[in-house]
Structure 1
């Protein structure tokens, strides 16, 4: 089954006998070490959300400078997700996990070298941009793990893979809290991660596998990019993951800028939201497996809108307690939405396969191929939401001196996401609109509520 160089030549997770006797054990092993690599990737990507808390007046950076810096780090993390998605098909999932994990040494060592007062803002910006490669690990990891699991398990598996990666955000924030509390500096934090990166790369090399059928299928991404659902789901993922990663970068800065919290006081609470949002992501996937991703996503956007309305009220009333609680709740909801939206992706392409007349393994292979390719594109576009959030906060503080204006914009975005989810995936069409034209999408649309 496995050729030299850890290549699996035959892989059919939809075959229950194969899955029970062979596939599940191998899939779970690859999932475990994929999570580790992606986890550290997220920590490296978001480390500047923590490093800016260390950077006091002696660094000469204004709040607007810090929001701009974190925005650009988020932007690079979003953009590199596209080539990282192709990398799985070109090099193999295991091989690329090793390379992408080892590459995290570059931004971590560079930040270690320049993190001191007197360094220019342009230098900090350049080194921060390098950290963006940590965001790419998510796309390659999700594309790879998607190929290992059967459709009935994808919500849980993708949620666990992504959630374990997302936890890299609160973990580096908790580590920073401990270091700040012990009067340590940012180089202590960065020094902790260098050996962890090496360990992740070595373990991936020793214990992960490549799936031969996934290799050299770079045309799948091109095909997926032409499908309207790839871009619709990208927009919805802006609302869920874009919010998660954007708030992860911005939460501490909002607390210090708007509410006058010290870096230590901010660090005591900033990790809670990302931690809960990460832990709940597999639950969102599991709920989507049971009730349908579109339904869970729809209800999540309703709740996110309500939480944002509370944040606006708390911001206007300058209520730190209410603001903090509402922000943490919003993080939890983004985690649920992250899990449910990613479960929708393989379900949508499976439905399209059935609508094309494909059946059994042929339909499953079509769904795996296009959903895996689309995940990288959706993850890249979704992460751009984090850029928008940080830029919105920057402009709101420049214009109004608080984040209230930004939250109003976010509320409007969630309202649009709700409408799109309902109208595309849940609204029942009148019978007269259903035609037999092969160009129409109406027949499959009736089943999208179950994805």
Structure 2
């Protein structure tokens, strides 16, 4: 049994960390990992709230702001884009600065867009200014990548589905929470600056608590080779594609749901706010469930059937939109949110499982296999998270084009339906179809074949 050994460096560094050792895990490791998990969730939660800030601010922006529906969709698309792009450097910042140190920095950086939005949020501000501040707000999306990379290093493989699902779900829930707070502010006849005035001190609280209670792992080294190796691996990009279908849907719909209700169904901002928070809330809450189910039954199986559900729900949304049935539309949209959250949990559980299987296929065993899998999966998560978030950009641009061309979001939903069908086929073909005569990746002895190996993940 090993114990965590603090380094002499300042800043709460732990020199030795071995979560796969059950004795170490049961005596001290689990307690430390859970403490870091909870404060990571808090910081990521605030990050998500800031990132999705403009999904609710646009509801405050009436005719006096002079913005068209297309302008608002473009604004939210750019915010989503920046959040996706910054996930890549945020992933590797953990290895450069330490998980605890970077959590403090990344939480503190959220003050910049929050204060900027507080200053400019009034009629008469130019659209270009709103775009610039929206771009700053996008940095909140990066907190997810660094948080997931950090927590991935704290937990053993057998616990990763639950831990990563809880970490991500707790962050994702920042989306409905800020929508609920906005609902309260609108209901009390408050303005957008009241909403921002609530979140600015919360950002400070998150940064201070991270500084006081989180730790850095010295075992998470700055390894640029891991980034290169992950980028060269086909599974990284296959999983990025699949994560686009789940998380891209979640974040894209979170930004767009309120605008669809106001533009397609004529709801007022207050009426839309009463409805928009339900889907992201339930989608966030079920993300750990997706991870837990993946731990038990395999992430690929859960992901496969989840895409069947997402496609079916989208088909019903097309019908509800054409029939102009608001109750059916909202209820099924909530189901689609829940399925996207479930799929978020199952796809992220697949990532460490895939790289662990590939380590075993290379002939590695024991701690060497675990270290290899952890090294590549941590690096891959940033790339996968970034590409997945780009799906949110695509969803908002699809809605923008659909409203410009047809005056409704129906055309966009038809495109999404086709995309989910492709995701189903890819999941089955790569991770669940076992070609004749081929054994699982955990038993394979060679990776020299061009065709990707079957992986039970």
- 1:214 match: secondary structure: coil
Tell me which residue corresponds to 2:84. Answer: 78
2: CA distance between counterparts of 1:45 and 1:334?
Answer: 19
CA spacing shift, 1:112–1:361, aligned 2, 3 Å: same
What residue number does 2:263 align with? Answer: 257
| 2:138 counterpart residue number | 132
C-alpha separation in 2, matches of 1:204 and 1:357: 39
Tell me, in whole angstroms, the C-alpha distance in 1 between the residues paired with 2:449 and 2:371: 23
Deviation at 1:214, TM superposition (A): 0.6
CA contact (8 A) 2:43 2:207 kept: yes
Structure 1 stretch 303-312 or stretch 433-442: which is displaced more? Answer: 433-442
For 1:86-165, list aligned pairs within 5 A.
86-165=92-171
1:24-423 superposed matches below 5 A: 24-423=30-429
Following the alignment from structure 1 to structure 2, what is the Cα–Cα distance between the partners of residues 160 and 286? 10
How many matched pairs?
A: 448
C-alpha distance in 2 between matches for 1:356 and 1:192: 52
Give distance in 1, aligned partners of 2:198 and 2:376: 38
Contact in 2 for aligned 1:231/1:378 (Cα 8 Å):
yes
**CA deviations over 1:44-64 (Å, ceiling 9, x no partner):** 000000000000000000000
Distance 2:446 2:232 in 1: 19
C-alpha distance after superposition, 1:196-233 (max 9, x if no partner)? 00010000011111111112223211110110000000
**Structure 2 CA distance for aligned equivalents of residues 71 and 177 of structure 1:** 22
Check the 8 A contact 2:362/2:445 in 1, yes or no.
no
- 1:31 to 1:441, Cα distance in 2 relative to 1, 3 A: farther
Taking a change above 3 Å as real, the CA distance of residues 101 and 405 of structure 1, as seen in their structure-2 partners, is same
* SS, match of residue 235 in structure 1: helix
Question: What is the deviation of 1:280?
Answer: 0.2
Question: Offset of 1:432 from its aligned partner?
Answer: 6.7
In structure 2, the residue matched to 1:2 is 6
The answer to whether structure 1 residue 439 and structure 2 residue 448 are counterparts is: yes
Paired residues of 1:91 and 1:215 also in contact (CA < 8 A): no
Write the deviation string for residues 154-201 of structure 1: whole angstroms up to 9, x where unpaired: 000000000000000000000000000000000000000111000100
Q: Do the aligned residues in 2 keep the contact of 1:89 with 1:218 (CA within 8 Å)? A: no
Q: Are the structure 2 counterparts of residues 172 and 438 from structure 1 closer, same or farther at C-alpha, using a change threshold of 3 Å?
A: closer
Q: Secondary structure of the equivalent of 1:61?
A: coil
Q: Could you tell me how far 1:241 is from its partner in structure 2? A: 0.1
Q: Which runs of 5+ in 2 are unaligned?
A: none
- Deviation at residue 436 of structure 1 after TM alignment: 6.4
**8 A contact 1:8–1:212 mirrored in 2:** yes
- TM-score of the superposed pair, with normalisation by structure 1: 0.98
CA distance in 2, matches of 1:203, 1:99: 12
Q: Secondary structure at the match of 1:213?
A: coil
SS of the residue aligned with 1:2?
A: coil
Q: CA deviation at 1:5?
A: 1.9
Q: What residue in structure 1 maps to residue 25 of structure 2? A: 19
Distance 1:328 1:118 in 2: 35
Distance 1:67 1:215 in 2: 40
Q: Judge conservation of contact 1:90–1:218 (CA < 8 Å) in 2.
A: no
Poorly superposed stretches of 4+, deviation over 4 Å = 432-438
Which string of whole-angstrom CA distances, capped at 9 and with x for unpartnered residues, describes residues 21-70 of structure 1? 11100000000000000000000000000000000000000000000000
Are the equivalent residues in 1 in contact too, given 2:51–2:141 (CA < 8 A)? yes
How far residue 437 of structure 1 moved from its aligned partner, in angstroms, is: 5.2
Q: Which segment is superposed worse, 151-160 or 83-92? A: 83-92
8 A contact 2:361–2:446 mirrored in 1: no
Give the match's secondary structure for 1:430.
Answer: coil
Name the CA distance, whole Å, in 1 between partners of 2:384 and 2:446.
28
How far is 1:441 from its partner? 6.8
Q: For residues 214 and 399 of structure 1, do their structure 2 counterparts lie closer, same or farther at Cα, with a shift above 3 Å needed?
A: same
